Amino acid sequence: MTPLDLRPLSVGEILDRSFTLYRRHFVLFIGIAALPQLLSLTFQLTRTFATAAPNRNIALAFSLTAALLMLIGGIITIVASLFSEAATFLAVSDLYLGRTVSISDCLRRAWSEIGTVFVVGILTAVAFLAGCIALIVPGIYIFCRLLVSVPAALIERRSASDAMSRSWRLEENNVGRAFVVVAVYFVISVAATMLFQLPFTIAALVYKNNFAMLQVWTAITIVGNTIISSLVSPIFHIAISVFYFDLRVRKEGFDLQFMMDPTSERLTPPGSGSVPSILG
């Protein structure tokens, strides 16, 4: 497989290359995004149809059970999302470096690193929320500075803290470009949700007093959300990967490193820094 053109890209070119990769390898990215979501989808649908109508006499027990199931479902959803995210980054890396790419191989490799990816995801979320407490803007800034933490962890085989430090350094003076990538994904995601999921959510609210119909419309909403996530999330993850390689080309001459040693599995400059104090 021929490696992609390694050169500095404008924000427009990053987005254009991301959509081009998505279109050319649609089955690959949809498969990577959808397969991990099947576990979450199965659990949520089972929970929806297995839940009995609430009884006033056991309202407290019903509420506690529902809360526990929601917590378990949330954890499964987060792990599935991080799993597909990691596999997408690995797929884009292989495409960039001209290696053979397959859904099964990317998922297998992503699963072997799921622990590191999970820690990065949790720490990034904590940092983002901590920043949001300080009037939102710092949270957005921190999220953008940590945007390429997972690619750094996977492609350069770094620990979670080292990968976050790496992202923080790479994105110095590039937060504006990272924000554009995030903003474009946000607009696409909101538009897709409004178009495909909102009608089902409204229908579920209409039938809130009819438990059987509420279950049906809730299930349809869950399926719709899974489809939207599988279609839209790869665009964001591809864009992050392209942005990561662009930062390395601009700041480290990654294109020249790769030309000199195209068989290297890491191609990482020596040294590492500390994680910003807000991350602990």
Residues 43-102 pLDDT 10s:
888 877 776 555 555 555 556 776 777 788 788 888 888 999 999 999 998 888 888 899
262 phi/psi in degrees, rounded to 5? -70, -10
Placement of tokens 């378990």 in the chain: 72
The answer to whether 156 touches 261, Cβ cutoff 8 Å, is no
Rounded Cα gap, residues 273 and 161, in angstroms:
9
pLDDT at 270 over 70: no
Rounded Cα gap, residues 187 and 279, in angstroms:
28
The tokens of 257 are what? 């490193």
Spatial CA neighbour of 240 closest among 130, 146, 169, 117: 146
pLDDT reported for residue 278: 41
Q: What mean pLDDT comes out for the span 2-11?
A: 80
Residues 229-252 pLDDT 10s:
899 999 999 999 999 999 998 888
SS3 238: helix
Quickly count: other Cβ atoms within 10 Å of residue 44's Cβ.
Answer: 23
Quickly count: other Cβ atoms within 10 Å of residue 97's Cβ.
Answer: 19
Rounded Cα gap, residues 121 and 71, in angstroms:
17
pTM of the entire structure? Answer: 0.83
Residues 117-141 pLDDT 10s:
999 999 999 998 988 887 778 889 9
